[in-house]
Structure 1
């Protein structure tokens, strides 16, 4: 991750999401994916690649971004 959360308004998307529903969430709420990723401390391209289906979010930064996008359940919450 590139840093800590900077904005209190930046929050993870509700779980469960699909890449399509996550994209629709950004459109419906008028949130820029780049700004959201930066505020969440995530790499913009990892977020974009997860939403395009290029990454599965199995390990590392991709896993952290997938949890924040609601594509995967948070293992810490279980």
Structure 2
């Protein structure tokens, strides 16, 4: 990744891809409300699903654990 995105940059990135927040959330299996909250700054992405959303949007460096493999 070339750097951490701000919320405005993350929204612009979604726009460049022609994706809505709802589509992004559906594609990544995350809650749309949490995605909106991360983009608005109401959730900081410190842990749990908000962490996953922030990492996927490029707003935070981190690892998104894959719990689907056993």
CA RMSD of aligned residues (A): 2.0
Aligned length: 64
Please, what TM-score do these two structures have when normalized by structure 1? 0.72
Relative distance call for 1:43 and 1:14 in structure 2 (3 A) is: farther
Tell me what 1:72 maps to. 60
Structure 1 spans left out of the alignment, 5+ residues: 1-12
Moved over 3 A (4+): none
Question: Which structure has the highest helix share of the two?
Answer: 2
**Which has the bigger relative contact order, CA under 8 A and spacing at least 6?**
1
